[in-house]
Structure 1
Amino acid sequence: MRAPSHVSDAGRVRSLPVTDSALLIAVAALCAAGAELALMRQAQVHWAAALFPAGALVYVAAGLIAWTRRPSSRLGFLLVVGGGVLLLSGLVNTGVEALVAVGQITRILGIAVIIHLLIGFPTGRLHAPAARLVVAGGYVVCLIFELPIRLFSPDGPLSVADRPEVVSAAIDVLRVAGALLVLATAALLVARLRRATPEQRRVLAPLSGYGIFALLIVQWGSEVSRWLFDGGGLTLSIVQLTVIALVPVAFAVAASRGGFARTADIAELGSWLGAEESARPALRQALADTLGDQSLRLLFRLPGDDGLVDDRGVPVSRPGPNGPRGLVEIELAGEPVGAIVYDAVLLDRPADVREAGRVISLALDRERLVVELRASRSRLVAAADDERRRIARDLHDGLQSRLVFLAVQAGTGADAGTVRAGIEAAIDELRDLVEGVMPTQLTERGLPAAVEDLADRLPTPIALHVAGFERRLAPDVETAAYFIVSEAIVNAVKHADGTALAVSLERSNGTLAIEVADGGVGGARAGGGNGMRGMDDRVAALGGRLAIDSAGGGTRVKAVIPCVS
């Protein structure tokens, strides 16, 4: 996905320092590589020595591309450092004594950089103590352990004495330490592969494999060559340098696959969302492309509910702490509207995710309204299905069984009085069933009469206030209002400890105001249970609003529903 051409000025201004710095580094790398090539030519070394500056330029180019695409990631910086280390290693071929000394000291420092890149991919940061320990050990081994070899060799610019036994011991220690480093790196990479998603594993597995191969070919290539081919010489050096030069290419390919690529700066996200609606990307996709995490999910906080739901309105569990998935809450005007669930390994800076959430908060709130409507409709459909199943069960288990029994009685010549009593009981059961689905008083006489009949049938005293019902309401409004009152009264009877109830129905100025109050202990809240959520859904379906006041003792359920005739 490409960003629109009308990128914001803020985003353009932010990218200028990165672009300028990248240009300076590129020019400096070209100049350094050119100078090193000139010195090599003057020293009349073999052409293969040119692979050092050539490989260094590959590292720098890949690093600068990665840096400009993801300025907050350290991967680009590490690749540029790797290019610098390769340039320093190539100084051993310049013939200048001081420069040769630098090249000898940094001869195997590239191994430590490759280890750092492998363990730190894709952000370049090290979070686990074990990762920090292995990387730090790599730099120590590659720098410190190389010094005794150079100081006690018989020749060379750093030689202070000819101590072959010290050199031999240092080489043995270096080999053992190098083997331990490679094993520790492999263990960390395998552990990360186990935690990764299948999509990420398809990227990490070949990258890790090539990285370990590069470490092995650099460290033990000469030993294997001597064992198999009685020495490798120039060919081995060319192979080693080629393998090292292809490391940044492997990282570049890996970073562009499997959701690891970040295509825009967070500052440009607002411009993407500000595009014309027909050309605007989906919110989740725009955010995933911006942050470079295709596994990213957007969750929504519905009013009156502390939980989170997905874009279908289905409740979703929060990821656990210290796991591979992270969660950042999104707020708008101080109110939570949703959350971003992201890959905590890939996006190791929650501040970036939080900033992106701030940018999309308004768009997320608009999308939340759609999700809320979708969830409300789903609950209404589910409630209707449950009601149909209840009716079918009651008909099958109750009325149908009774009628079958009556038919058997009538067929066997049972007493007419007994059959008549059974028929009357079946009629009463059918009447009760119909009354539960749609009260007769409601359909024949309207809302006030139905509520008054409901109040008369309850043991709790109810004070009923009715005003403005000179004409009947629309059937859908009457039905919704009745079941709202019914549900509120049932909840009050269950939780108000027998205290008196007050029900008010007032129709005026094209609206119906409903209020059910009790003197109980309070504690109710919108969306707190299926009954409360059902009331909220009924009101919302008619374009009204529901409020529940349960502070300070007692509960007041208030609903306002449009009822223009």
Structure 2
Amino acid sequence: MDGDVGAAVHPLDRPVLHAAGDGQTAPGPFATRGRGVTRSRSLRHAVVQLACVAILLGAVELAAVAAGPAPIWMNVLVTLTAAAFVGAGALAWLRRPSSDIGAVLTAGGFVWLAADFGNATAPALVAIATITATVPLAVIVHLLVSFPSGRLTGRGARVLVGVAYLTCLVLQAPLYLFADAPAPYDTLQVAVRPELVSIGGWAQNVVGMAVMAVTAWLLVGRLRAATPPQRRVLAPLYAYSTAAVLLVPLSAIVVAPALGWNPTTLYAVQVAGIGLVPIAFVWSLLRGGFARTAELEELGAWLGVEERGHAALRRALAETLGDPTLQLVFWLPDRGYVDAAGTVAAATPVAGAHRGVSEIELAGARVGAITYDRASLDDPALVATAGRVVAIAVDRERLTAELLANQEALHRSRQRIVEAGDRERRRIERNLHDGAQQRMMTVAMGLRLTEAHLSGADPAAGRLLAAAASDLEGAMRELRELARGLHPSLLADTGLAGSLESLAERSAVPVHLSVRLAADLPQAAQIGAYYVVAEALTNAARHSGATRLEVRAATRGRLLHVEVVDDGVGGAAPAPGSGLEGLADRVDALGGRLRITSPAGAGTALVAELPCG
């Protein structure tokens, strides 16, 4: 066809792709519908792989068209446009995986790469590019009608987009089937019929304008139904994208002839105008307001699949609302706002210049709050909507936080009881040592002195005094052992290592002791470890029939690990009221764990882990 017909026919009728004035059509993007994208871990890898494929194809495309008729800067411009589509699509896909907009944008990028193959010299590549020459306009219509979900809802939307693709594919056919084009642009030519080229171009323009008119009518209706924050997102997007579509035919029919543009300038303006469209779409998609409606729908569906923990819930809210700094706290009437562990929040959520707060209510009762960055989310109504979506899940997590808070309070209470008991034992031990033991020692010394004084004059009285002194010294030893059982005073003098050595030396069963301890162990952990070893040695001597004991105490990270193993008969169990049961209670009150393994005939292993940091 001649240059005038080619210029008037449709967007991207770029004579620049061949000799000046031959009026041949050249390529444009190809679009395919993206499938639903899940929140799987493989999504990021898939998007990265698509981006790598796009980079590779871009390099191949530049190499293939390097010897073609178009200037290199034109090929680079088309490649950059393809990169804009693929990059915007990848970002949208990752940030809004529930929306198919990312898939459509990414597919549009691959189409742009195919479009520039019209500048190559291989007939097959030129044929592909020529067939898809005007598909970019259908892609933009598709994006406009399906934004923000990327899905065509309703029969009218599907018909409108279908007609747009038919216009760009079917009505484009006469322009390459019947045009008088030189090689290699005549690969698809079946006859030279200029009148059919003219009719096809006229029909394509008329139907294309009708499609844009219906699209504009649909978009105006959506703007009227939108809220003010939504209009701030949609209005500039609709206006620019529609203008970019209309720019292509109008620039060829009206602007270029009026300004005297040559085909190269015309094509450059068309490509540059469309090249900014993906940026406009991804910018709108990532903004607050209407752009996240589909994400909120997916959030509700995601919550319905299974129960989610606090970390997953906060992360889902942050991804849905596009604010990585978002925080989720829970409301307990008697404690205020707490975190997932039931710990009182560092600061009560208060709205300010940079942070917003949206309270979450369920059945009229406050259950939590969302704090967010006002710069990332400028629509409080959207955050409130998200709060309503997750209210039930938040209430469940609130109850969990309350349970954890109660458990922590119970743990602290039990720990205070243990510490109070230790203090009382220490007081009694000190009183016994400083009071009763000292007086008994004085009496024993007096008896020994009296015995020595009377032994010559009255041997019988001397023997009685000696027996009384011996009994008193035995009572003192028993009292000393009682005091040591009440509280290990050696801990204050020699530390845990020295106290364990003393226990090993006094044990009735030979003990092999291994100690590797940090220097700054908490007193509560040392006392707990001492009682674990003392009780285990006592039980082994009384009940196990063991011939050898292994005692190991070591600091492992933030835990004090204590292990006592014997080669006795086994079968040990913490029966109600037994020393092992009391020991288990003490270890548990300190926030530790006690495990007893004692199979019959295979000895006993007692392992305690006590927090020490």
TM-score of the aligned structures, taking structure 2 as reference length: 0.45
TM-score of the aligned structures, taking structure 1 as reference length: 0.49
